């Protein structure tokens, strides 16, 4: 049986954050849109990324909070954890949100097609057993965990981020996180709070690549204080699974010293790779870069102008909010609007406790770009609100250009740093100065005041600390 091809103004391939944003915005602008997805709508972020990790982080933090409450005389006793219930609660949030995306597709009259997409030519794509033609096509196929030689993921003892989302019963006693990036540390924090002894190893000299060096130092100090062991310049060479245990050969890359260590679980979180398998890009006249990305311009157009790529598959940083913005841009350009990915800065967040969040240039990046730099730092230990929240680790660090006072970057380690970051992102987009921030009344007592005080500290006029 041959079906007549389905015709659309726009076909979006992938229903992750980039894809569903593109599909919905294009529909809002009056285009006839189809969105193809071979797995679950919502993509990695909703199903096996942002959302389920944040649910588990909240559970772990609530357990830790119970312990800290004894400091003010509140005793809950030893917590018990119903692991099937925890996993079920996490899954229910995912279900609700992915159901929400499906509902939004229906409400916006986006046609949801199920199946693997494969280009036939630059305007034609096979989706499962259907043929779709479209004036414009957006590729939003995302990424998947990168493999590590010597450590084969079995999703039981050796897991990637997807396997790590399923909390085993009982919780593992000893866990190794291979990779000291955002994903590695979020899982390290989850399992540490659930009672696992966690070790994080990172090949590079520093954890959390891309973050400000001072912020990373402060973050690292807090993680260690909470019991997470961190070894940099260290790699895992091989792993041998014996029943429910795994013996890992760990090597110090500076000294060459090798040790064998036993764990109950190993998480491989060494990065992610763009996913274009099965797409048959060549039929569309496209190719990927050496690292597997599809190159795009600021309008998110590929080398074939009516084909766009957004999100993880279009390049770093692989972040949901970047994909969302790019999805909107691609949809708007496909609808004939003069849209561009013109963001001054893309924020980054590690959702541990304290959180590490940043936007704009690090102090080093600003210097490398030739700026004459001034900084202002306000420690959370001087924040009244942070004290009332029992969360005084961390600081707000502001990087500004000397003379013009122009804000270049904001780096926060502290409670709710991710939410405080919204103000900093807006300030950067509006080309605000440290004075603009310092002159803005921030409610008291709030954590956000620390941003104001960091701006004051740039001018050596902070009130709640001694300015040096």
Partner 1 sequence: ADAGRVLAVPAARQLARELGVELTQVQGSGPNGRIRPLDVHRHAQRSAEPA
Tell me which residues touch partner 1 (CB under 8 A).
Answer: 338-340, 342, 344, 369-372, 401, 404-406, 429-431, 433, 436
Shortest gap between Cβ of 101 and partner 1 (angstroms)?
Answer: 26
Shortest gap between Cβ of 344 and partner 1 (angstroms)?
Answer: 8
Q: In this complex, which beta carbon is closest to partner 1, that of residue 144 or of residue 436?
A: 436
Of 366, 304, 379, 315, the residue nearest 341 (C-alpha):
315
Q: Are strands 111-114 and 258-263 parallel, antiparallel or unpaired?
A: unpaired
Q: How far apart are CA 394 and CA 417, in angstroms?
A: 10
Fill in the DSSP letter of residue 230.
Answer: E
Torsion sign over Cα 208, 212, 213, 219: negative
Q: In this complex, which beta carbon is closest to partner 1, that of residue 68 or of residue 337?
A: 337
Q: In this complex, which beta carbon is closest to partner 1, that of residue 10 or of residue 407?
A: 407
Annotated binding site for NAD(+): 179-186, 202, 271
Q: How far apart are CA 182 and CA 205, in angstroms?
A: 15
Shortest gap between Cβ of 358 and partner 1 (angstroms)?
Answer: 18
The active-site residue, picked from 112, 444, 459, 464, is 444
Shortest gap between Cβ of 406 and partner 1 (angstroms)?
Answer: 6
Annotated binding site: 54, 141-143, 179-186, 202, 271, 312, 318-321
Contact 391, 406 (CB under 8 A): no
Q: How do the residues of the chain divide into helix, strand and coil, expressed in percent and rounded to 5?
A: 35, 25, 40
How far out from the chain centre does Cα 340 lie?
22
Annotated active-site residue 442? The verdict is no
Q: How far apart are CA 339 and CA 350, in angstroms?
A: 30
Q: In this complex, which beta carbon is closest to partner 1, that of residue 337 or of residue 444?
A: 337
Half-sphere exposure (CA, 13 Å, Cβ side) for 112?
19
Q: How far apart are CA 454 and CA 74, in angstroms?
A: 33
Catalytic residues: 444
């Amino acid at each position: 049986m041959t079906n007549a091809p389905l015709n659309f103004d726009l076909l979006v391939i992938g229903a992750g954050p980039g894809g569903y944003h593109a599909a919905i915005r294009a529909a809002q602008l009056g285009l006839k849109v189809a969105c193809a997805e071979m797995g679950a709508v919502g993509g990695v972020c909703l199903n096996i990324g942002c959302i389920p990790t944040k649910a588990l982080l909240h559970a772990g933090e609530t357990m830790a909070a119970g312990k800290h409450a004894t400091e003010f005389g509140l005793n809950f006793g030893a917590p018990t954890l119903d692991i099937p219930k925890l996993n079920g609660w996490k899954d229910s949030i995912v279900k609700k949100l992915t159901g929400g995306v499906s509902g939004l597709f229906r409400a916006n009259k986006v046609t949801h097609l199920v199946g693997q997409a494969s280009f036939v030519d630059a305007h034609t794509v096979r989706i499962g057993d259907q043929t779709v033609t479209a004036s414009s096509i957006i590729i939003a196929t995302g990424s998947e965990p990168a493999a590590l030689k010597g450590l084969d993921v079995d999703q039981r003892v050796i897991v990637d981020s997807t396997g790590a989302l399923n909390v085993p019963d009982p919780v593992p006693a000893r866990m190794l996180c291979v990779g000291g990036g955002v994903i590695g540390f979020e899982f390290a924090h989850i399992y540490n709070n659930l009672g696992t002894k966690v070790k994080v190893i990172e090949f590079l000299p520093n954890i959390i690549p891309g973050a400000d060096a001072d912020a990373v130092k402060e973050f690292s100090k807090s993680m260690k204080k909470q019991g997470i062991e961190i070894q940099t310049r260290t790699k895992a060479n091989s792993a041998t699974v014996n029943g429910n245990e795994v013996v890992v050969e760990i090597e110090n890359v500076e000294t060459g010293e090798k040790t064998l260590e036993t764990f109950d679980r190993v998480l491989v979180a060494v990065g992610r790779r763009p996913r274009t398998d099965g797409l048959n890009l060549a039929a569309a006249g496209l190719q990927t870069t050496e690292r597997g990305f599809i190159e795009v311009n600021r309008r998110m157009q590929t080398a074939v102008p009516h084909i766009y790529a957004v999100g993880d598959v279009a390049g770093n940083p692989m972040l949901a909010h970047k994909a969302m913005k790019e999805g909107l841009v691609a949809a708007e350009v496909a609808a004939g609007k003069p849209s561009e990915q013109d963001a001054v800065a893309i924020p980054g967040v590690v959702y541990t406790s304290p959180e590490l969040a940043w936007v704009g240039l690090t102090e080093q990046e600003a210097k490398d770009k030739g700026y004459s730099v001034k900084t202002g730092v306000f420690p959370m230990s001087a924040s009244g609100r942070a004290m009332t929240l029992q969360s005084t680790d961390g600081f707000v660090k502001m990087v500004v250009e000397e003379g013009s006072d122009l804000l270049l970057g904001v780096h926060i380690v502290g409670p709710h740093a991710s939410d405080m970051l919204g103000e900093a992102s807006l300030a950067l987009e509006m080309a605000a100065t440290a004075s603009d921030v310092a002159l803005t009344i921030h409610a008291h007592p709030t954590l956000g005041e620390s941003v104001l005080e960091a701006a004051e500290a740039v001018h050596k006029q902070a009130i709640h600390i001694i300015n040096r």
